[in-house]
Amino acid sequence: MSTIPSTALEIVAAVRSGQLSAREVLEDHLSRIDAQDGEINAFNLVMTEEARAAAAAVDARVAAGEDPGPLAGVPLALKDNLCTRGIPTTCSSRILEGWRPPYDATVVQRVNAAGAVSIGKTNLDEFAMGSSTENSAFGPTRNPRDTGRVPGGSSGGSAAAVAAGFAPISLGSDTGGSIRQPAALCGVVGVKPTYGMVSRYGLIAFASSLDQIGPFSTTVADSALLLEAIAGYDGRDSTSIDAPAPSLLESLGQGVDGLRVGLVTELMGQGIAPDVAARVRQAADALTAAGAQVGEVSVPAAAYGLSAYYLIAPAEASSNLARYDGVRYGMRVDAPTTAEMNAATRTAGFGEEVKRRIMLGTYALSAGYYDAYYGKALKVRTLIVRDFEKAYADFDLLLTPTSPTTAFKFGDKTADPLSMYLNDICTIPTNLAGHPAMSVPFGGGSDGMPVGVQLLAPALGESTMFRAAAVLEAAAPALDEVWS
């Protein structure tokens, strides 16, 4: 049994006080990765040398009596769509295989400055497009709870890394649920912050008006710690909110007394597995028991969220992915003319789901179809924002399932793209509105696999959201407690 604590907060305390060295914490986690990641495949790249250097630097600061930072010595995994200078960043795509960015993403700079020890780049659905990590060009990641099942996606690697104990915390990205859904499927905490709270500079873009970077962890407090370290204004991102990082740890224990929580009607009915719905109701009861007022609320436009999302996100993606043309970096397949080279490169370099979404997005924007598809989707987005506004007039937080089902088996949904897209019905509306949301583990399903419940808050409502999450965490049934 390892003597290394399992949470970031505990590790930080131990390293800062000199009880543990960052080096021994790191070696412990590296050996776990070594033993198990062959099967799990959470990592595209383990940064052994870089991590050892970072750990040594932390230990040197502690020895010199300097402040080693709020994440001192904590191993942290980075989704492989976050730019790390000089270290391959692939988006799990052949088209970027081997590409070494000449710069660090803002969040990478911030976690490094905070003393975290970046331990590796994690696997994802190619270019963050997917809900199972089966779309990775480097093979799927397996759910640590049941290796015959998917970990969810697109941040499957980051979720699995935390669930498997390879790192106490990790960073992922969420465009339509890509942090929250794998968090739910793997039984860990996953948070999508308010759009604009965390800088996107250095996050390889999928859908610019929807993407956000956020934390995975085993505890609510660890996600609060990590989010505090990465959030806050960045002048290199025009969509960054001009405010400092919120203070979350402080208010974590304030409870939910008097808070009004709404169960979203449209997301509790058809399409949600009964065992998942049951856990959500159980979570609602837990909040009531803790002093919250739970009611039901309708957010009608949420029903259109999936369609609007699958027009807006691919449209932006089709444009964001145009730059992968074999000219300046990444894969190139040679041809006599540049246009042919572009096409040959992209055809060989992109996987099927990426191609599908590029074409869907190109079509939605094209002349003659813009108004019917993309144009309308932007209006649906307005309806969703308005419906949320109405809901938040009467409620402080909303409660829904995170994923309609528990983790499914490999290959279950790959034949029919639409069936895969339906995984996101609960998570998508908050991306469209730009609101924060998080998934908290809350017991198991009828198959024993983890269930996550989702808390939603209005823009900049992270602190309230985390308070409720802490209550749910405390009340959560054990995973192996049988559902009845």
Partner 1 sequence: MSARLTRDNVAKVADLARLNLSEAELERYTEQLGAVLDHAEDVASLDLDGVPPTAHPLPLVNVLRDDFVVKGVDRDEVLSQAPSVEDRRFRVPAILGEEP
Partner 2 sequence: MTLTHEPIEGEHFVVVSETTGASWEIVVGLEVHCELATVTKLFCGCPNMFGDEPNTNVCPVCLGLPGSLPVLNHNVVELAMRLGRALHCSVEPSVFARKNYFYPDMPKDYQVTQFDRPINADGWLDLPDGTRVGIERAHIEEDTGKNTHAGGSGRIHGADYSLVDYNRAGVPLVEIVGRPHIRHPEQAKTYIDELRAILLTTGASDAKMEEGSLRVDANVSVRLVGDNELGTRCEVKNLNSLRSLGRAIEYEARRQVDLLETGERIKQETRHWDEGAGRTRAGRSKEEAEDYRYFQEPDLVPLAPSAEWIAAIDAAMPPLPAARRDALALAAGVAVTETSVVIAVQRDLDQLALATIAAGGDGKRVLTHVEHNLSGDGAVDLNPATFAQLVTLELGGQLTATQAKTVLAEMVISGRAPDVIAAELGFEAMDSSELEGIVDGLIAESPEEWADFCTGDEKKRGKLQGFFTGKIMKATKGQADGKAVAAILESRRAESL
Catalog residues that contact partner 2 under the rule CB under 8 A: 82-83, 89, 91, 96, 99, 101-103, 105, 200-205, 207-209, 235-239, 315-316, 318-319, 322-323, 325, 327-329, 338-339, 342, 362, 365-367, 370, 374
Asked about 439 being catalytic, the answer comes back as no
319 binds, among partner 2, partner 1, none (CB under 5 to 8 A by kind): partner 2
Q: Is 178 designated active site?
A: yes
Which CB sits closer to partner 1, 281 or 356? 356
In the complex, what is the shortest distance from the CB of residue 407 to partner 2, in angstroms, rounded to a whole number?
Answer: 30
If contact means CB under 5 to 8 A according to the sort of partner, which of partner 2, partner 1, none does residue 34 touch?
A: none
Tokens of 236: 């290199």
Minimum Å gap between C-beta 81 and partner 2 is 8
Please give the span between the terminal C-alpha atoms of the chain, in angstroms, as a whole number: 33
Nearest by Cα to 326 from 318, 335, 317, 315: 335
467, amino acid identity = R
Nearest distance, CB of residue 171 and partner 1, angstroms: 21
218: amino acid identity, one letter: T
CB of 369 to partner 1, least distance (A): 7
Instruction: Quote the least distance from Cβ 103 to partner 2, whole Å.
Output: 5
Nearer to partner 1, 138 or 195 (CB): 195
For the bound state, the minimum distance from the C-beta of residue 367 to partner 2, rounded and expressed in Å, comes to 5
Q: How far from 26 is each of 5, 7, 55, CA to CA, in Å?
A: 12, 13, 7
358 binds, among partner 1, partner 2, none (CB under 5 to 8 A by kind): partner 1
Active-site entry in 79, 121, 192, 413: 79
Exposure on the CB side of residue 272, measured as CA atoms within 13 A: 25
Partner whose binding site includes residue 232, from partner 2, partner 1, none (CB under 5 to 8 Å by kind): none
Give every strand in the sheet of 293-297, ordered side by side.
43-46, 117-122, 75-79, 169-174, 212-217, 189-192, 437-444, 450-456, 397-401, 260-264, 293-297
Contact in structure between 231 and 243 (CB atoms under 8 Å): no
Residue number with CB closer to partner 2 (62 or 91): 91
Nearer Cβ to partner 2, position 367 or 418? Answer: 367
Q: What sign does the CA torsion over 418, 420, 424, 425 have? A: positive
Cα(51)–Cα(316) distance, rounded to whole angstroms? 35
Q: Which is nearer to partner 1, 416 or 481 (CB)?
A: 416
The residue written with tokens 């924002």 in the block is: 385
Rounded to 5 degrees, φ, ψ at 286 are: -65, -40
Calpha distance 300→2 (Å, rounded) = 49
Catalytic residue among 136, 178, 217, 439: 178
What's the token pair of residue 297?
């609320």
Nearer to partner 2, 116 or 128 (CB): 128
Residue 311 binds which of partner 2, partner 1, none (CB < 5-8 A, kind-dependent):
partner 1
Give min distance, CB of 100 to partner 1, in A.
6
Count of Cβ atoms closer than 10 Å to residue 19 Cβ:
11
Query: Is 413 designated active site?
Result: no
Considering CB distances under 5 to 8 angstroms, the limit depending on partner class, which of partner 1, partner 2, none binds residue 334? partner 1
Whole-angstrom distance, CA of residue 331 vs CA of residue 468? 46
Q: How far apart are CA 130 and CA 175, in angstroms?
A: 10
Where b means 16+ CB within 10 Å and e means fewer, 395-428 reads bbbbbbbbbbbbbbebebbbeebeebbebbbbbb
Nearest approach, Cβ of 153 to partner 2 (angstroms)?
A: 19
Residue 206 interacts with, from partner 1, partner 2, none (CB under 5-8 Å by kind) = none
Cα 91 to Cα 94: distance, rounded to the nearest angstrom: 9
Nearer Cβ to partner 2 (209/298): 209
Residue 337 to residue 356: CA distance in whole angstroms: 25
CB of 179 to partner 1, least distance (A): 17
What is the rounded CA–CA span in Å between residue 120 and residue 209?
27
Per partner kind, with CB cut-offs from 5 to 8 A, the member of partner 2, partner 1, none near residue 315 is partner 2
> Contact, 256 vs 244, CB < 8 A?
no
215 binds, among partner 2, partner 1, none (CB under 5 to 8 A by kind): none
118 bridge partner residues: 76
Residue of 92, 93, 154, 155 marked catalytic: 154
Catalytic residue positions, numbered:
79, 154, 178
